[in-house]
Amino acid sequence: MVHKVKFKQWNCILEFGQYKENDRIAISLVEEETGEDVATVTINLDKVSLSDNEVIIKDYSENEGVYEALVKAEIISRAKRYIHSGFISAPVCDLLITVPKI
């Protein structure tokens, strides 16, 4: 199943991968028509404990607004908690969709 989300001016589809360090889910947005990369919307903080269906969302810098876009598209839940690392605060959310086998 293809999952779509509108982020800023882009109509995107989600692409899934895994972080090499710990096999956690990585999510990227790709422009639907051109296939161009738009953003990587997850971050991997190895020292943070996550359950299998949780992701940390990068909603700062060039990704500002992606959290709300993903919530609106019913891809993720509202933040369960926030992780603070350096100068950033990132929401930890449940994935509300089934991730294809990677």
List pLDDT tens digits, range 1-40. 899 999 999 999 999 999 999 999 999 999 999 999 999 9
What are the residue ranges spanned by the domains of the chain? Answer: 4-94
Task: Give the pLDDT of residue 19.
Answer: 95
Sheet holding 42-43, edge to edge: 42-43, 54-57, 88-94, 81-85
Q: Which residues contact 62 (CB under 8 A, 6 or more apart)?
A: 39
Instruction: Please provide the size of the chain in residues.
Output: 102
* pLDDT tens figures, 85-95: 989 999 999 99
Task: Give the pLDDT of residue 1.
Answer: 85
As a whole number of angstroms, the distance between CA 23 and CA 8 comes to 29
Q: Write down the residue that tokens 């296939």 correspond to.
A: 35
Q: Is the pLDDT score of 101 beyond 90?
A: no
